[in-house]
């Protein structure tokens, strides 16, 4: 059976199962429309619709898999591989993940060089047989360190680490608020990286500005502290801020940020370190739409939800607009200072003032500096930033879904 026949068989099987994958009808309709476009060989339109869907539901297995097939059909093999890798990593034991791996093995068998053959007894013969086992998703990946330290530098509360993108060195800011990783063509040119080809995937804006800029989604080899992974990077036409090391790489691991020790400690998920009795534990919610880490914060006695954003160094909390601030129980005082903040797409005007009291679980802060944007009008939750947990080392524990804070 040739490769095309295998893919067609897999596609037919998945088409029968796909509608039961998600419960929300709106989600099913958008994804199913894209699948119908793919089945009708309208591959480019299918890719566009899958991409729009995955912006909101980045871990939809069937959308990832079918988008990989559609990208492959248009000749974009690098993007297809990235989508198959994502699907396989999320569900290595489910049918979709197994099918994704089967295609990846044909496209680039070197991706599975870390797997090894082991000998196990046969259930029907006295002889042994060789079977392949994966040393990764549900245990540990022994092809990389179980845990490792990466030096970082601190500049005005921003955390910078040395990164290699496709073998080229660059300094990036560690940012849990970035769903992927972000770099501009201007910064790629400075280190000699090739620009993405073809039309942009869309336009995007930043949390500090109303301006938008074209962007491309590009798979890149990302290496931090000796550990390399192929992940999605967002490339902007022009990035007016620092390049960002975000969730598409950092989210693969558990991270402890030690500002006083000037290092980030990475460790593989599933590496049991027990309970840290010296830590304050704050539960968080992982939101697939936008790849967000959300925490519940009490602002002047009223509970609201914020994005845990290590890249937010502008204020303790950044509200997107006055309406959002009001919904969180915050009134802008008449003596608030008008100022400017900047981000990846440019600068924007805001008002700055202090809040009497803000709590997040056991962490309690008084006179916290906050900003309210004058024009952004964004639907995202406000950003909780460095000024709130200043003086703490923190670990994002993705197994327990908690952030552990230790006073330093």
Per-residue pLDDT of the chain (408 residues; tens, 9 = 90+): 444 454 555 554 444 444 333 333 444 468 888 888 988 889 999 998 998 888 777 778 888 899 999 999 999 888 888 888 888 877 777 777 888 888 988 888 776 654 543 333 333 223 222 223 333 344 577 778 889 999 999 888 889 999 999 999 999 999 988 888 999 999 999 999 999 888 888 887 655 556 778 999 888 899 999 899 888 899 999 988 899 999 889 988 888 998 888 999 998 887 766 677 778 999 999 887 777 899 999 988 888 999 999 888 889 999 999 999 999 999 999 999 998 877 666 678 899 999 999 999 889 999 999 999 987 666 789 999 989 998 888 999 888 889 999 887
Whether residue 132 is contained in a domain is answered as: no
Residue-wise burial string across 327-336, b where 16 or more C-beta atoms lie within 10 A, e elsewhere: ebebeeeeeb
> Residue 81 in contact with residue 221, Cβ under 8 Å?
no
Identify the helix (H) or strand (E) that includes residue 171. Answer: strand 168-174
CB of 237 closer than 8 Å to CB of 213: yes
194 and 220 share one domain: yes
- Same structural domain, 161 and 207: yes
What is the structure's pLDDT at 282? 92
Question: How many domains are there within the chain?
Answer: 3
Say what the pLDDT of residue 378 is.
66
370, part of any domain: yes
CB of 368 within 8 A of CB of 316?
yes
Q: Is residue 9 part of a domain?
A: yes
pLDDT given for residue 113 in this prediction: 59
E strand spans, 178-290: 182-184, 202-205, 212-224, 227-236, 244-245, 254-258, 263-267, 280-283, 285-287
Residues 309 and 259 occupy one common structural domain:
no
CATH number of the structural domain spanning residue 392 = 2.40.70.10
One domain for residues 307 and 335:
yes
115 part of a folded domain: no
- The CATH number that applies at residue 96 is 1.25.40.10
Asked, for residue 134, whether it belongs to a domain, the answer is no
Helix (H) or strand (E) holding 116: strand 116-121
Residue 63 lies in a domain: yes
Report the alpha-carbon distance of residue 144 to residue 128 in Å, rounded: 29
Do both 71 and 169 map to the same domain?
Answer: no
pLDDT at 29: 67
Q: What local confidence, expressed as pLDDT, does residue 132 receive?
A: 31
The answer to whether residue 130 is domain-embedded is: no
Please, is 173 exposed, middle or buried when counting C-beta atoms within 10 Å of its C-beta (0-12, 13-18, 19+)? buried
Whether residue 299 sits in one domain with residue 263: no
**One domain for residues 229 and 293:** no
* Integer Cα distance of 269 and 36 in angstroms: 37
Q: What pTM was computed for the model? A: 0.59
Residue 272 lies in a domain: no
pLDDT digits (tens, 9 = 90+) for 290-301: 778 999 999 888
Please list the alpha-helical segments (H only) found in 207-309.
Answer: 247-250
- Surface-to-core class of residue 182, CB atoms within 10 Å of its CB (0-12 exposed, 13-18 middle, 19+ buried): buried
Structural domain boundaries enclosing 208: 147-267
Distance separating alpha carbons of residues 335 and 239, to the nearest angstrom: 33
């Amino acid at each position: 059976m040739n490769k095309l026949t295998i893919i067609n068989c897999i596609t037919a099987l998945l088409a029968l199962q796909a509608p039961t994958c998600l419960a929300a009808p709106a989600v099913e309709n958008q994804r199913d429309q894209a699948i119908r476009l793919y089945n009708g060989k309208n591959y480019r339109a299918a890719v566009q619709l899958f991409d729009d869907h995955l912006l909101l539901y980045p871990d939809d297995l069937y959308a990832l898999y079918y988008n990989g097939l559609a990208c492959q059909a248009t000749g974009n093999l690098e993007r297809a591989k990235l989508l198959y890798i994502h699907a396989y990593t999320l569900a290595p034991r489910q049918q979709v993940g197994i099918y994704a791996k089967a295609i990846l093995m044909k496209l680039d068998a070197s991706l599975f060089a870390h797997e090894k053959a082991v000998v196990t007894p046969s259930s029907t013969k006295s002889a042994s047989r060789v079977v392949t086992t994966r040393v990764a998703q549900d245990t540990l990946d022994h092809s990389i360190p179980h845990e490792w330290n990466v030096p970082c530098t601190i500049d005005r509360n921003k955390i910078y680490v040395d990164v290699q993108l496709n073998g080229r060195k660059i300094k990036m800011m560690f940012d849990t608020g970035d769903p992927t990783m972000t770099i501009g063509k201007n910064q790629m040119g400075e280190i000699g990286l090739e620009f993405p080809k073809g039309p942009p995937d869309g336009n995007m804006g930043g949390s500090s500005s109303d301006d938008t800029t074209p962007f491309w989604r590009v798979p890149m080899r990302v290496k931090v502290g000796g550990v390399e992974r192929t992940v999605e990077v967002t490339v902007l036409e022009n990035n007016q801020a620092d390049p960002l090391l975000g969730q598409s790489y950092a989210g693969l691991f558990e991270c402890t940020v030690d500002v006083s020790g000037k290092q980030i400690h990475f460790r593989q998920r599933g590496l049991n370190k027990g309970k840290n009795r010296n830590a304050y534990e704050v539960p968080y919610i992982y939101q697939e739409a936008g790849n967000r880490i959300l925490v519940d914060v009490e602002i002047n006695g009223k509970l609201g939800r914020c994005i845990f954003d290590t890249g937010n160094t502008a204020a303790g909390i950044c509200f997107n607009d006055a309406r959002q601030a009001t919904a969180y129980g915050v009134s802008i005082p008449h003596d608030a200072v008008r100022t400017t903040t900047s981000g990846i797409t440019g600068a924007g005007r805001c008002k700055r003032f202090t809040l009497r009291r803000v709590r997040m679980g056991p962490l309690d802060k008084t006179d916290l500096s906050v900003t309210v944007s004058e024009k952004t009008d964004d639907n995202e939750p406000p950003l909780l930033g460095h000024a709130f947990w200043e003086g703490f080392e923190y670990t994002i524990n993705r197994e327990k879904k908690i952030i552990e804070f230790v006073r330093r």
